[in-house]
Amino acid sequence: MGEFPPQKTQKLPETSVSVRLELHYPLELLQCFFSRHGDKQLSGFMGANSGIGFATAEGLASRGANVYMVCRNKERGEAAQSKIQSDTGNQNVHLEVCDLSSVSDIKSFASQFSSKNVPVHILVNNAGLLEHNRITTSEGFELNFAVNVLGTYAMTELMLPLLEKAAPDARVITVSSGGMYTTPLTKDLQFSDENFNGVQQYSQNKRVQVALTEKWAEINKKQGDWILFNAPSLSGKLRTNEEGADTIIWLALQPKEKLVSGSFYFDRAEAPKHLMFAATSGSHAVIDSIFESLKSLSSISA
């Protein structure tokens, strides 16, 4: 099997890592993956009607995956579904409607989808939100936390039975953000400070996602045979949506033995989870408490 081709880089600020611009995959790798799993349905869940989620869904669909897009807005979801089907020629692109800020909606979706008895090989947790004002959901949760943390936790936990059906090659990819480098982990998940700061809350949410991935990887060593990763979201001025989706697609297609469960990946390579002197590494000690809090808030028995 050939190696991935060398990639050009673009210089970024010193706190960042290089951006690679040549985004293509060796055909032999894709043929190996899909021929080895030709009798399976490579299924992905994500916030997928725009941005990196759309680019990821389209990239996987173009490689023959059976994609399940999970979107809150039915009309936008249908438009994205139709465009991906048209652009890729893959009709196995399905739309599921679910409000990922609502635990009850996620539970309802998971129950209905489980009845399809479809193994899930790739779960991409891409839905994300940065709301600058404090908004409380109908279930009583701060909105950023509800989407970025509690929704990610609930979706992953409820999909575990379907991921286990797809073992040993099932994987969960959670799309994080470089903003997490600036923020240590705390037990204050819903930003109790009356001076609400949406950017700080978003960064904190993304740090929680990284710690959750570590925790799930630790649990999985004892209980299962699926792997978990984080990949940062960097679109906009730094890169296109397709470039932002590149590492996500790469993680979805790589052979399991070439990857490290629980790791943070950037530009197709493991990346550090903490910056020097950022005082974030020791904060992960509170993840057990956070994990129990999420279990209680979602009423999901992990």
**Cis ω on the peptide bond leading into residue 232 (within 30° of 0)?**
no
Distance CA 133, CA 120 (A): 35
Of 205, 204, 225, 203, give the one whose Cα is nearest residue 216: 225
Distance CA 240, CA 261 (A): 27
Q: How far is residue 241 from each of residues 68, 219, 223, 246, measured CA to CA in Å?
A: 19, 32, 35, 9
**What value, to the nearest 5°, has the Cα angle with vertex 43 and ends 92 and 118?**
90
Torsional class of 279: left (φ above 0), alpha (ψ -120 to 50), beta (otherwise) = left
**Which pair of structure tokens corresponds to residue 212?**
């959750």
Centre a 10 Å sphere on the Cβ of residue 2 and count the other Cβ atoms it contains: 8
Distance CA 239, CA 19 (A): 8
Please say whether the beta carbons of 267 and 19 come within 8 A.
yes
Catalytic site includes residue 68: no
Of 180, 3, 147, give the one whose Cα is nearest residue 72: 147
**How do strand 93-97 and strand 67-71 relate by DSSP bridges?**
parallel
Residue of 68, 153, 202, 265 marked active site: 202
Which positions are catalytic?
202
